[in-house]
Amino acid sequence: MSQQTAITPTRAQDFPEWYQQVIKGADMAENSEVRGCMVIKPWGYAIWELIQKDLDQRFKDTGHTNAYFPLLIPISYLEKEAEHAEGFATECAVVTHHRLEAQKDEATGKTHMIPTGELTEPFVIRPTSETVIGAAFARWTSSYRDLPLKINQWCNVMRWEMRPRIFLRTAEFLWQEGHTAHETREEAIEETLTMHKVYEEFQRDVLAIPTIPGEKTEAERFPGAEQTYTVEAMVQDRKAIQAGTSHFLGQNFSKSQNICFAGRDNTQQFAWTSSWGVSTRMIGALIMMHSDDDGLVCPPCVAPQQVVIIPVTPKEDTRQAVLDHCEELARTLRAKTFHGQPLRVLVDRRDLGGGAKKWEWIKKGVPVRLEIGPRDLEKGSVCFQRRDQAPNEKTFLPETELADTITDILQNIQDTLLNKAVAFRDAHIRPASTLRELEENFSGEGDADWLQVPWDGSPEEEEELAKRLRISIRCIPLGELGHGDPAPCILTGRLTERRVLWARSY
Amino acid sequence: MSQQTAITPTRAQDFPEWYQQVIKGADMAENSEVRGCMVIKPWGYAIWELIQKDLDQRFKDTGHTNAYFPLLIPISYLEKEAEHAEGFATECAVVTHHRLEAQKDEATGKTHMIPTGELTEPFVIRPTSETVIGAAFARWTSSYRDLPLKINQWCNVMRWEMRPRIFLRTAEFLWQEGHTAHETREEAIEETLTMHKVYEEFQRDVLAIPTIPGEKTEAERFPGAEQTYTVEAMVQDRKAIQAGTSHFLGQNFSKSQNICFAGRDNTQQFAWTSSWGVSTRMIGALIMMHSDDDGLVCPPCVAPQQVVIIPVTPKEDTRQAVLDHCEELARTLRAKTFHGQPLRVLVDRRDLGGGAKKWEWIKKGVPVRLEIGPRDLEKGSVCFQRRDQAPNEKTFLPETELADTITDILQNIQDTLLNKAVAFRDAHIRPASTLRELEENFSGEGDADWLQVPWDGSPEEEEELAKRLRISIRCIPLGELGHGDPAPCILTGRLTERRVLWARSY
Q: Secondary structure of A319-334 in the HEC alphabet?
A: HHHHHHHHHHHHHHHH
Contact A90 B98 (CB under 8 A): no
Listed residue (B233, B223, B215) closest to B455, CA to CA: B215
Which CA distances in Å does B40 have to A70, A123, B134, B243, B482? Answer: 9, 20, 30, 19, 37
Contact B160 A123 (CB under 8 A): no
Q: Rounded mean pLDDT of A8-26?
A: 97
Listed residue (B445, B44, B26) closest to B239, CA to CA: B445
Q: Are A504 and A239 in contact (CB under 8 A)?
A: yes
Q: Are B71 and A39 in contact (CB under 8 A)?
A: no
DSSP strand E in A185-316: where? 212-215, 227-234, 240-250, 260-262, 268-270, 272-279, 307-311
pLDDT at A389 > cutoff 60: yes
* Mean pLDDT for all residues in chain A: 95
Which CA distances in Å does B461 have to B216, B437, B472, B503? Answer: 15, 17, 12, 16
Contact A70 B123 (CB under 8 A): no
Mutate to test the interface with B, among A28, A49, A66, A90 (most CBs of B within 10 A): A90
pLDDT at A330 > cutoff 60: yes
Contact B65 A74 (CB under 8 A): no
Distance (Å, rounded) from C-alpha A312 to C-alpha A353? 9
Q: Are B281 and B173 in contact (CB under 8 A)?
A: yes
Q: Rounded mean pLDDT of A337-350?
A: 96
Helices and strands (H and E) in chain A: how many: 13, 26
CA distance A303 to chain B (A): 15
Between A33, A73, A97, which is nearest B96 by CB?
Answer: A97
Residue B2: which pLDDT band, with cuts at 50, 70 and 90? very low
Reduce the DSSP state of residue A469 to 3 states and report it: helix
Contact A69 B30 (CB under 8 A): no
Distance (Å, rounded) from C-alpha B241 to C-alpha B209? 11
* Mean pLDDT for all residues in chain B: 95
The shares of helix, strand and coil residues in chain A, as percent rounded to the nearest 5, are: 35, 30, 35
DSSP string, B324-372: HHHHHHHHHHHTSEETTEE--EEE---SS-HHHHHHHHHHTT-SEEEEE
pLDDT of residue B1: 42
Contact A67 B73 (CB under 8 A): no
* Residue pLDDT, tens place only, B260-288: 999 999 999 999 999 999 999 999 999 99
Listed residue (B72, B91, B477, B311) closest to A93, CA to CA: B72
pLDDT at A439 > cutoff 50: yes
- How many residue pairs bridge chain A and chain B with CB atoms within 8 Å of each other? 194
Listed residue (B420, B169, B362) closest to B284, CA to CA: B169
Residues 6+ apart with CB under 8 A from A173: A156, A157, A158, A279, A280, A281
Distance (Å, rounded) from C-alpha A152 to C-alpha A52? 12
Reduce the DSSP state of residue B212 to 3 states and report it: strand
pLDDT of residue A86: 53
Closest residue of A to B117, CA-based?
A: A91
CA distance B404 to chain A (A): 26
pLDDT at B86 > cutoff 80: no
Position A236: which residue type?
Q
Contact A92 B115 (CB under 8 A): no
pLDDT of residue A106: 86
Between B90, B100, B124, which is nearest A92 by CB?
Answer: B100
Closest residue of B to A43, CA-based?
A: B67
Contact A71 B155 (CB under 8 A): no
Closest residue of A to B122, CA-based?
A: A115
H or E element, residue B506: none
* Residue pLDDT, tens place only, A267-286: 999 999 999 999 999 999 99
CA angle at A334 for the pair A331 and A340, rounded to the nearest 5°: 160
Q: Are A168 and A241 in contact (CB under 8 A)?
A: yes
pLDDT at A85 > cutoff 50: yes
Contact A71 B42 (CB under 8 A): no
Reduce the DSSP state of residue B1 to 3 states and report it: coil
Q: Are A339 and A407 in contact (CB under 8 A)?
A: no
Reduce the DSSP state of residue B449 to 3 states and report it: coil
Contact B72 A135 (CB under 8 A): no
Q: What is the 3-state secondary structure (H, E, C) of B25-45?
A: HCCCEEECCCCCCEEECHHHH
Residue B313: which pLDDT band, with cuts at 50, 70 and 90? confident
* Residue pLDDT, tens place only, B51-63: 999 999 999 999 9
H or E element, residue B465: helix B459-469
Contacts B46 to A, Cβ<8 Å: 65-66
Distance (Å, rounded) from C-alpha B160 to C-alpha B399? 53
H or E element, residue A503: strand A495-503
Which CA distances in Å does A14 have to A21, A28, A372? Answer: 10, 20, 37
Contact B46 A38 (CB under 8 A): no
Between A42, A97, A110, which is nearest B67 by CB?
Answer: A42
pLDDT at A229 > cutoff 70: yes
Residue B89 or residue B200, greater confidence: B200
Listed residue (B268, B277, B260, B261) closest to B130, CA to CA: B277
Number of CB atoms found within 10 A of residue A387's CB: 26
* Ramachandran category for residue B319: left, alpha or beta (phi over 0 → left; psi -120 to 50 → alpha): alpha
Contact A94 B99 (CB under 8 A): yes
CA distance A110 to chain B (A): 8
Position B158: which residue type?
M
Listed residue (B341, B416, B403) closest to B372, CA to CA: B403
Residue B104: which pLDDT band, with cuts at 50, 70 and 90? confident
Q: What is the percentage of chain B residues whose pLDDT exceeds 90? A: 89
pLDDT of residue A1: 42
Reduce the DSSP state of residue B377 to 3 states and report it: helix
Residues 6+ apart with CB under 8 A from B43: B26, B27, B28, B304, B364
Q: What is the pTM of this model?
A: 0.97
Contact B37 A71 (CB under 8 A): yes
Closest residue of B to A174, CA-based?
A: B68
Closest residue of B to A75, CA-based?
A: B113
Contact A71 B125 (CB under 8 A): yes
Contacts A124 to B, Cβ<8 Å: 100
Radius of gyration of chain A measured on its C-alpha atoms: 26
H or E element, residue B235: none
Number of CB atoms found within 10 A of residue B477's CB: 20
* Residue pLDDT, tens place only, B450-470: 999 999 999 999 999 999 999
Contacts B158 to A, Cβ<8 Å: 71
* Residue pLDDT, tens place only, B414-437: 999 999 999 999 999 999 999 999
Distance (Å, rounded) from C-alpha A387 to C-alpha A292? 10
Between B94, B100, B113, which is nearest A100 by CB?
Answer: B94
H or E element, residue A254: helix A252-257
Residue A88: which pLDDT band, with cuts at 50, 70 and 90? low
Question: How buried is B266 (Cβ within 10 angstroms: 0-12 exposed, 13-18 middle, 19+ buried)?
Answer: exposed
Q: What is the percentage of chain A residues whose pLDDT exceeds 90? A: 89
Listed residue (B290, B291, B209, B280) closest to B40, CA to CA: B280
Q: Are B383 and B394 in contact (CB under 8 A)?
A: yes
Q: Are A135 and A254 in contact (CB under 8 A)?
A: no
Reduce the DSSP state of residue A238 to 3 states and report it: coil
Between B39, B66, B111, which is nearest A70 by CB?
Answer: B39
Residue B35: which pLDDT band, with cuts at 50, 70 and 90? confident
pLDDT at B87 > cutoff 60: no
* Residue pLDDT, tens place only, A102-142: 888 888 888 888 999 999 999 999 999 999 999 999 999 99
Question: How buried is B466 (Cβ within 10 angstroms: 0-12 exposed, 13-18 middle, 19+ buried)?
Answer: middle
Position B55: which residue type?
L
Between B49, B99, B112, which is nearest A91 by CB?
Answer: B99
pLDDT of residue A418: 98
Mutate to test the interface with B, among A30, A31, A34, A280 (most CBs of B within 10 A): A34
Residue A89: which pLDDT band, with cuts at 50, 70 and 90? low
Distance (Å, rounded) from C-alpha B214 to C-alpha A368? 46
Contact A113 B172 (CB under 8 A): no
Closest residue of B to A120, CA-based?
A: B35
Contact A66 B49 (CB under 8 A): yes
Q: What is the percentage of chain A residues whose pLDDT exceeds 70? A: 98
